[in-house]
Structure formats: C-alpha cells, structure tokens
Chains A and B, each alone.
Chain A
Amino acid sequence: MNASIAPRDFELLSAHLDGQLAPADTQALLALLGAEPHLHEALQRLTQLRSLLRRGPQRRLPRSFMLTPQQAGQRQRSGVAAWSGFNFASAIAALTLIFVLATDFTVNGLPAIPTARSAEPVLMMAEAPQAESYATDSPPSGGAANPADSALFESTPADETSLADEMPTLKEPPAPTLTAWVAYNAPVLEALLASLAVIAGLLAWHHRRR
C-alpha cells in the first residue's frame, strides 16, 4: 500500500491528520506535500480511512453492566472466606506439626522419659510405692503386743481372697496416655500433617491465582 512512502513520512502524515505535529514540523510537511503528489494522495487516503472508521456504528448495549450487591460483595466474601479458610487450615496444620515434632523430641530425646514401648514397666514401677504401702501398713514381725491387734493383721482365707481380688488391678496395663499415643504414632501424624499443610498451601496458591 504505502510502499512508495517511507515509514517516517507516513507517520508524519498520520500525526498531521490528527493535529499532533509541532508547528515547525507541520510547515515542513505542508511544503513537502506541495512538492510530492504521492504524499498528498496518501494523506487523502488516510483521511478517508479515518472517516470510515469513525463512521462505524457504536453497538447498542445488550444489557446493563451495573453491579448487583451480590456481584460487588458476595464474590468478595466467598473469596475472602475461602482464602481465610485455607490460611486457617495451614496455620492449624503447621501448629499441630510443631506440637507433634516437639512431643516426639521430648519423648525420644530424653532417655529418662519412657516411650510407648517402655511405658508399661515404668508405670509398674510407679505402682511399687503403692505396694510398699501395704507392707508398711503391716505390723512389724513378732511385734504384735495386742493379740487382738495381731489378729487384725492375721490373714484369713477371706482376706487372701480380697487381696487376690485387688492384686490383678495393680497388674493391669495402664490406660494409654495422649502423650504415649502421640509418640507412638508420631511418624504417621507427621506425614499426615505435612501433607495437609502442603495441600492447604497449594489450594491457597491456586485460589489466589484464580
């Protein structure tokens, strides 16, 4: 099309058409237009093109684009709620992970504190003083001044039965504590919480990108 016109000249013509040239440039261009008929033709074609484009109809609005309260607020609220939810989930997962790691370190890092596998013997040891209390409660050997008192301490078959009934309760495995349970399941919990934290982080990132 404008192969015969240098791009720079075409740019000057285009700017001149819109009154965007400096006065000095305009004077120079007008002089050139008088001397170069092909530039004058090019300017006429540009003028027609601009007229053609401006003549193009504006489309009628198909609908109103006013925002409803839902569009203005609900989108924002749902976005914020989801974002806060992910943040909350990440924070909870991270805190729980720290708790599990700390518990694991405390339990395994200090040998004096029992692990889940050694919990039973330790608890049995803890019961020893209770058993000793039975012994201290018994009279010293041969020291029963009062036969009535000594009779009190003589074991009868009935007493043996009652003691025998009580003994098994002492030897029962202790109820599992939360610390022991956490320590026992620490590797699984760590993996689970780490996965949860990563998934929540990825969901939050994805949500923010959208």
Chain B
Amino acid sequence: MNEEQLILAAQSGDLDAFNRLVITYQGLAYNVAYRLLGDDAGAQDATQEAFISAYRNLRSYKGGSFKAWLLRIVTNGSYDELRRQKRRPQTPLEPEPLDGEDAPDPSWMADPGESPEELAERVELNAAIQRCLNQLEEEFRTAVVLIDVQGMEYGEVAEIVKRPLGTVKSRLARARSRMQECLQGFAELLPDKFRLTGNP
C-alpha cells in the first residue's frame, strides 16, 4: 500500500495502517521534537502525544502533504510541552552534564570507525548547536530546525507553519544570523574544522 492508501485505511480505523505511517515518520518527528525542546523525555512525550492526536484527528486531514500535516502537530505539541515545562519547571535528580546534553551516554552518536576524539568533537558540536537553538524564539527555531537541521524545503515549512513563503525566508535569515552570533560564543568549544571563519 502506498501512503495515500495507508491514510485512507487509517481514516477508516485501521490501526495497523496508521502504525505503518508511524514507522515511516517517527524518526523525523522525534528528531524535530528533540531539536525544538532540547530534552529527550519531553521529545518522547511530545512525539507520542502527536501520533495519538494525529490518529484521533485523522478525519480532519483533507489531503496535501501528510508529512507537513503531521509535523505541524509535532511542532505545536512540542511548543505546548515547552510551555508546560516552563510553567512547572522540574529539577533534575542528577546535575546536568557540562556539555548540555541530557543523555549522559553519547554512544548514540557514534559512527562505526570513529575515534573517541572525533566522537567527543561531535558531542561538543551537538551540544553547542542545541544551546544556540534553545536561545532562539519559537518561530525562528522552527525555521532553522526544519530547513537547516532536517533539510526540508521552504514550501513544506510554509505549509507546516501556515505562513507565506516570504515569511519563512525572512525568519530563516534572521535565525541563521542569530545562530552565527551564538556559535561564535562557542568557538573554543568547537573543533577546528567546525569553526566559522571570518569575523562576523
């Protein structure tokens, strides 16, 4: 069955068909939620809630890009989760790692054949990116996460955020500008090959 057929079957209550859509999109949905929230537990909650909400509201999907429809639910759910966390801040049981990563074990990033030094570089890079993303306002963060981190097209993002293409371009430019400024603050942490050259 192709995606359209799976959606039709899921709309008529076929949970297996819906779960095949979940398998297709869960990696993207979770990574978007993680980059928007910067927190693994929150990203898991937001992703799970997004899929439950998508299943329950599947009848409101009237065609178009299913990926955009689903990611709209994920981004809205992630910001809801973020606001919930701000209202009820939780103190972690263990101190946060210095590199800002909530996962103490960075093995999830390891590539086969990668040296420990290279892995450490990538962990630092990832932490620096996430810190800078966390400092952006919601609309700018969404633009840079979807386009630069996930490599999506402007048109898809415009559909997700329900804004004109020009607004997406403008937001992305401002987000990139702020990311450049922020990452310069982490220049010492970043490996040489990742340092941004030139004076901003």
Contacts and interface: CB of A to CB of B under 8 A. Distances in A.
Interface of A: 1-2, 7, 10-11, 13-15, 18, 20, 41, 44-46, 48-50, 52-67, 69, 71-72, 75-76
Between B47, B108, B122, B176, the greatest number of chain A beta carbons within 10 A of the residue's beta carbon is seen for: B176
Interface in B159-188: 169-170, 172-174, 176-177, 179-181, 183-184
A64 B55 CA distance: 16
Contacts of B15: 67, 69, 72
A67 B22 contact: yes
B173 A62 contact: no
17 contacts: A2-B200, A10-B173, A15-B173, A20-B169, A52-B183, A53-B148, A53-B179, A54-B151, A56-B125, A56-B129, A59-B40, A61-B27, A62-B44, A65-B29, A66-B23, A67-B51, A72-B18
Contacts of B184: 1
A15 B29 CA distance: 25
B183 A67 contact: no
A54 B30 CA distance: 16
A13 B177 CA distance: 11
B66 interface: no
A15 B172 CA distance: 9
Contact of A67 (B18, B173, B174, B181): B18
Contact of B177 (A10, A63, A64, A69): A10
A11 B122 contact: no
A72 B58 CA distance: 12
Nearest to A69: B15
A14 B140 CA distance: 14
B144 interface: yes
A15 B167 CA distance: 12
Contacts of A41: 198
Contacts of A56: 125-126, 129, 149
Contacts of A75: 52
- Specify the main secondary structure of chain A where it touches its partner: helix
B147 interface: yes
Between B19, B29, B122, the greatest number of chain A beta carbons within 10 A of the residue's beta carbon is seen for: B19
Given A11-B169, A61-B27, A65-B48, A52 B108 contact: no
Contacts of B30: 59, 61-62, 65
Contact of B197 (A1, A44, A61): A44
B26 interface: yes
Nearest to B110: A57
Interface string B30-60: 1100100000100010011001100110000
A64 B22 CA distance: 9
A66 B149 contact: no
Nearest to A3: B200
A2 B177 contact: yes
Given A57-B109, A67-B55, A75-B52, A46 B176 contact: yes
A138 to B, nearest CB: 82
